Amino acid sequence: MAHHLTKWNSGLFDCCEDTSSCCYGFWCCPCLACTVSGNFGENRCLPLCDICSPAITAAIGLPLCVPPAALSLRVGIRNRYGIKGSACKDIATSCFCEWCSYCQMHRELKHRKKNKVVVVNMQPPPVMMAPGHPNSAGFVSQPGVMVNSY
C-alpha cells in the first residue's frame, strides 16, 4: 500500500505567508517554541530543555549539539501529518535554522487546525488464533468482521 506524503504547508523561510507566526517568534522565540509544543499536544515546557542545555548554541548558529525538543517536535509533526522529509533534513534544520523551524511548525499546526487535516495510519490489530483451530479459508476473522469461504 503506497502512503501518500504531502509537503509542508509553507517553506522554512516563508515568513511572509503568515507574518504573525514570524513576528511572534522574532519577539519571543521561547514563547513561540512553547506554543508549538503545546499545540502539538506535548508539554509546553518541553522546548525549555533546548534553552537550558548546550543546545542553546544551535539557536545562535553554532551546531555543537542538536536541540532535542526542536528535533523531536519537527519529526513528530512530520510523521503525524505525513509530510515528506528525512531525519537528516530534520537534524540540519533543527541545528542551523531552529527558530525558522519553529515558525514553520507553528504555521503548519495553524493550517492543520484550521483545515482539520490529519493523516491516520489505520492497521487492524493483530489477532491470535487458538492452537488446533485453524481458519479453514486461511483468513483470520476479527470481531465485527464476517469472513466467508467458498
Domain ranges in the chain? 15-115
**What is the pLDDT at residue 40?**
93
The grid coordinates listed for 30 are: 521561547
**What is the pLDDT at residue 146?**
47
Sign of the torsion angle spanned by Cα atoms 50, 52, 57, 61 = positive
**What is the pLDDT at residue 149?**
47
**What is the pLDDT at residue 129?**
57
**What is the pLDDT at residue 1?**
45
In the chain, which residues have pLDDT < 70? 1-3, 20-27, 52-64, 117-150
Rounded CA Rg of the chain? 21
**What is the pLDDT at residue 25?**
58
**What is the pLDDT at residue 124?**
59
